[in-house]
Amino acid sequence: MGQVVNTLPEGLPVYGVTSLGDEVFVLKWKERDQVEVYDVITYRLLRYISIPDLRGFADMTSCKHDHCVYISDPFVMCIHRVDVQSDAIRQWAVNDTPHGLSMTKAHNVLVTCPFVCKIKEFSSRGDLLREMTLPDDVINPLHAIGLHLTTGQYVVCHGDHGDDVHRVCVMSEYCTHIVHSHGGQPGSGTSQCNVPGHLAVDDDTEFVFVVDAFNRRVTLLSPTLNYIGCQVVSRDKLKWWPYRLHLDVQRRRLYVVDNEYIDGKLTSGRVVVFSV
C-alpha cells in the first residue's frame, strides 16, 4: 500500500496533475493562473502559468522529450500545448470532445474522446496521425494509455455513472478487440470497479494503477489486468474522491487528485503524493 509523502495545498478543484523534470504541474479551475507549478522535492509553490484561451478542463499530461505540458479542453474541443521553458502556448482542434490524455513512446499525444468512443493520436504539432474506433461494448471510454512493452496494445478504462459496464481493458493493436479485461457490472468487489476514471502505467513492468472513483480507491492490476491483492490507495487515505493520477516512475511517486463533490459538482480539491 502506498504511503502518504505530502499533500499539496487544498483549494479549488483539481483537474489534472503531472510532473516534468524537477517540477510538478497542477491544473485548477481558475480564470487565470490555472497551472500551479511546485518543486518536486520540497513541494514548494514556484510559479503560475496562465492559459489565456482555456475554456474547460478535462486532463493534463507532459512530455519530457518536447519539454511541454498538454491540457485537454472539452468546451472548445482542442488541446493546449504549453512550453514549460518559455510558457509559449499553442493549441489545435480535436474535432470531437477530448477527455483523457497520455503520451506514446514516440512522443505523440493520445486523446480519448468518450462521446464518439474513439482514441485519436496527434503529433506534438497537432497533426492527426491516426484515429481508432473502440468496439461497441466499450462505452464512455475516459482514458487510454499505450503499453510500451507490448507493441501496439493499449489499456483503456470505460464506464461512467449510470452505465451497465465498468471495466479496464487491454485492447489489441488499432483497438479492434479486447485482449484482457477487469471489471464488468459496477460494484465494490476486488474483481469490480465503479467509474474507473483514470489510469497510470508503470513503464518498467506495465502494472496498471486505476482510479476507482466511486469506490474511493486506487487499485493495482497486473499487465493482464489481474487484481494484485492490495489497494495502492484506500479510502482512509483520501478525504474526498479520487479523480486523476500521475506516476513518477523515476522517483516512485504516485500523485492522486482528491476532489470534493457536492450536488454533482466539484467544489474543492487537493493532490496527495504517495510513495509506491
Domain 3-275 has CATH 2.120.10.30: yes
For residues 272 and 4, is the Cβ–Cβ distance under 8 A?
A: yes
pLDDT for residue 93? 97
Q: Which of 148, 223, 230 is nearest to 182 (CA)?
A: 223
**Cβ partners under 8 Å of residue 105, min gap 6:** 146, 148
Q: In what order do the strands lie in the sheet with 14-20?
A: 14-20, 23-28, 35-39, 45-49
Instruction: State how far Cα 75 lies from the chain centre.
Output: 18
Reduced to 3 states (helix: H, G, I; strand: E, B; else coil), residue 115 is helix
Reduced to 3 states (helix: H, G, I; strand: E, B; else coil), residue 139 is coil
pLDDT for residue 230? 75
pLDDT tens, 59-81? Answer: 999 999 999 999 999 999 999 99
pLDDT at 229 over 90: no
Handedness of CA 239, 247, 29, 154 (dihedral sign): negative
Q: Residue 31: pLDDT band by 50, 70, 90 thresholds?
A: confident
Please provide the average confidence, as pLDDT, over all residues in the chain: 94
CB burial string 79-88: b at 16+ within 10 A, e below = bbbbebeeee
**Cβ partners under 8 Å of residue 166, min gap 6:** 158, 159, 183, 184, 185, 186, 192, 193, 194, 195, 196
Residue with cell 489565456: 52
Q: Which of 195, 219, 217, 194 is nearest to 208 (CA)?
A: 219
Reduced to 3 states (helix: H, G, I; strand: E, B; else coil), residue 114 is helix
Average pLDDT value for residue range 157-167: 94
Q: How far apart are CA 43 and CA 41, in angstroms?
A: 6
Q: Which amino acid is at 99?
A: H
Q: How is 165-198 classified by DSSP, letter by letter?
A: -EEEEEEPGGG-SEEEEEEES--SSTT--S-EEE
pLDDT at 20 over 90: yes
Q: Provide φ and ψ at 239, rounded to 5°.
A: -90, -35
Q: Which amino acid is at 133?
A: T
Q: How far apart are CA 85 and CA 96, in angstroms?
A: 29
Provide the whole-model pTM: 0.95
The set of long-range contacts for 73-78, using a CB threshold of 8 Å and a minimum separation of 24, is 73/98, 74/98, 74/99
Q: How far apart are CA 124 and CA 34, in angstroms?
A: 22
Average pLDDT value for residue range 37-56: 94
240, three cell numbers: 474526498
pLDDT at 125 over 90: yes
